[in-house]
């Protein structure tokens, strides 16, 4: 079974002659203890076209040292990665294979580089002898294992400082200051693998420079689509690991993509994007089962916590917990099955194909300041119609449905403005913020609709079990009042958000 460790580390250039400065002069470090030498032998795996390396993931099988086994490293932020470990075996453990699926799809992972490291280990300790960080000086030899460039080697020396579990990142800053004063400089390569791949690659494959900046409207739309596809793929392992907010963020990426294809259909051929929109709708709905349960649980727990103890009659918290566990267990299984489905992998392949060969229409060649505002404002007009319709409905089910439709339209306008922000700047940013305020009111109203439906079900279950339904009815009434408040709030919020000034600024 795989386990996880948060790795916070920094790498530095070194030479065989590098000598450590007195690190006890770094704030918090009281002692530096030499722990001896370790010989490490690691084979790194990737697809033939290096999909993992392209996303800064590393997969290795390592022998030697205290943590021999399979290691998968997933980037979190600068200097921070999550390392997922599995016991040593001859084949890739299934747990790690699942976390790679959104990247590799059906492509096999093969050995690409072997790295031998002679590691000189030092422990940085505090005044109580507790471990603060591990510092190692590695003599590295890397060998290319792929058919192209097979046998090419590269050697270097590097210094690595890894923070102990639950350590303070400020320690790394203090140690770095001492290292820099001694002439030690940060490494240009983020990992051993990235350096090994760069230095052993055939010269014809070595790339330099950055991709050109977006210029046309189509460039900006595709850049936005690419960011959402990247987010969708990157969040897959987090969802499989059940990390906080991961399902929500993945669902948002699918909705942003679907919205972009709808809003900017003047730039992208609908014959290609419409089928993708349908598949994204399916994925968002499947992810929504888990996310909606999560939102509902949080809302109901908050509502119960806000009640005085004298108004909580019967086993309210216990029943709420049972309903939550039952709902989340079922939804988690469903999400896991979706991410393993061929339909999901085919969607990812189709999105990659769109980016590789964009179905651009003539309008995509237009100037961003001409094309993008028109698309955003067209969505705004659609939202205005839906809000007007919602406000004309009598309170009740018809208004609830109309408010929900307006909420979806508000979200689409917000996403459209956010997509245009790199091209249009502050006017698009301010416009998106105004639409978000409308979306928030409508979203809270819809959450209340869902909560009331759940509360009625809980009240019936409590009554059938011989429990008091008083508290559930009280909570229902409070949610009903909250929805009424949002309905009364909407006209004023909409009036502020839809003033002519922001729309004019968007058009420049």
Which domains are delineated in the chain?
3-205 (2.40.320.10), 217-507 (1.40.20.10)
Number of Cβ atoms within 10 Å of the Cβ of 78? 8
The residues, ordered by sequence, that sit 6+ positions from 251 with a Cβ below 8 Å of its Cβ are 284, 287, 288, 291
| pLDDT for position 205 | 56
Q: What is the pLDDT along the chain (508 residues), one digit of tens a residue?
A: 468 889 999 999 998 888 899 999 999 999 999 999 999 999 999 999 999 999 999 999 999 988 899 999 999 988 899 999 999 999 999 999 999 999 999 999 999 999 999 999 999 999 999 999 999 999 999 999 998 889 899 999 999 999 999 899 999 999 999 999 999 999 999 999 999 999 999 876 555 556 678 899 999 999 999 999 999 999 999 999 989 889 999 999 999 999 999 999 999 999 999 999 999 999 999 998 877 888 899 999 999 999 999 999 999 999 998 888 877 777 778 888 999 999 999 999 999 999 999 999 999 999 999 999 999 999 999 999 999 999 999 989 999 999 999 999 999 999 999 999 999 999 999 999 999 999 999 999 999 999 999 999 999 999 999 999 999 999 999 999 999 999 999 999 999 999 999 889 988 7
Tell me how far CA of residue 330 lies from CA of 147, 247, 293, 334, in angstroms. Answer: 46, 14, 10, 6
Q: Measuring CA to CA, which residue among 163, 106, 125, 167 is closest to residue 23?
A: 125
Distance CA 93, CA 112 (A): 18
Give the residue among 140, 314, 114, 339 at the shortest CA–CA distance from 233. 339
| Structure-token pair, residue 458 | 């809980």
Q: Which of 168, 136, 166, 162 is nearest to 27 (CA)?
A: 168
User: What confidence score (pLDDT) does residue 192 get?
Assistant: 95
Looking at residue 2, its pLDDT comes to 67
- Model-level pTM? 0.88
pLDDT at residue 207 in the model:
54
Instruction: Give the span between the Cα atoms of 439 and 328, in whole angstroms.
Output: 26
CA distance 387 to 496: 14
């Amino acid at each position: 079974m795989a386990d996880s460790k948060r790795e916070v580390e920094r790498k530095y250039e070194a030479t065989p002659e590098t000598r450590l400065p007195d690190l006890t002069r770094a704030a918090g470090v009281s002692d530096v203890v030499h722990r001896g030498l370790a010989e490490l032998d690691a084979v790194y795996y990737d697809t033939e076209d290096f999909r993992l390396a392209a996303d800064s993931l590393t997969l290795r099988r390592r022998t030697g040292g205290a943590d021999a086994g399979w290691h998968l490293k997933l980037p979190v932020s600068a200097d921070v990665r999550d390392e997922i470990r599995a016991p040593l075996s001859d084949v890739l453990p299934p747990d790690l294979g699942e976390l790679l699926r959104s990247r590799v799809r059906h492509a096999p992972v093969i050995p690409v580089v072997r790295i031998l490291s002679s590691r000189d280990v030092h422990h940085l300790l505090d005044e109580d002898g507790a471990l603060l960080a591990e510092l190692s000086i590695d003599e590295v030899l890397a060998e290319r294992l792929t058919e192209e460039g097979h046998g090419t080697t590269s050697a270097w020396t590097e210094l690595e400082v890894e923070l102990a579990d639950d350590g303070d990142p400020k320690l790394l800053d203090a140690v770095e200051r001492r290292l820099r004063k001694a002439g030690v400089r940060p490494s240009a390569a983020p990992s051993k693998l990235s350096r090994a791949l760069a230095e052993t690659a055939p010269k014809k494959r070595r790339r330099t420079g950055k991709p050109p900046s977006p210029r046309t409207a189509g460039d900006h739309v595709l850049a936005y689509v690419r960011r959402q596809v990247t987010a969708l793929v990157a969040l897959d392992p987090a969802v499989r690991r059940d990390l906080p907010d991961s399902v929500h963020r993945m669902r948002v990426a699918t909705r942003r993509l679907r919205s972009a294809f709808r809003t900017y259909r003047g730039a992208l051929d609908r014959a290609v994007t419409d089928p993708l929109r349908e598949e994204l709708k399916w994925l968002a709905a499947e992810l929504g089962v888990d996310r909606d349960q999560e939102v509902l649980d949080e809302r109901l727990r908050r509502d119960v916590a806000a009640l005085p103890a004298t108004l909580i009659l019967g086993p309210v918290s216990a029943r709420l917990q049972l309903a939550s566990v039952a709902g989340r267990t079922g939804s988690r299984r469903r999400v896991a099955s979706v991410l393993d489905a061929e339909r999901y992998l085919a969607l990812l392949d189709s999105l990659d194909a769109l980016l590789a060969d964009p179905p651009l229409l003539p309008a995509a060649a237009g100037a961003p300041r001409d094309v993008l505002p028109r698309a955003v404002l067209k969505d705004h007009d659609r939202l205005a119609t839906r809000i007007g319709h919602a406000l004309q409905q009598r309170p009740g089910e018809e208004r609830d449905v109309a408010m929900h439709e307006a909420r979806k339209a508000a979200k689409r306008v917000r996403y459209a403005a956010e997509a245009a922000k790199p091209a249009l700047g502050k006017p698009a940013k301010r416009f998106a913020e105004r639409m978000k305020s409308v979306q928030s009111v409508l979203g809270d109203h819809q959450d209340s609709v869902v909560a009331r439906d759940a509360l009625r079900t809980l009240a019936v279950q409590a009554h059938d079990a011989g429990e008091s339904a008083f508290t559930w009815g009280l909570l229902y009434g409070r949610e009903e009042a909250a929805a009424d408040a949002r309905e009364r709030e909407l006209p004023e919020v909409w009036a502020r958000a839809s003033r002519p000034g922001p729309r004019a600024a968007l058009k420049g």
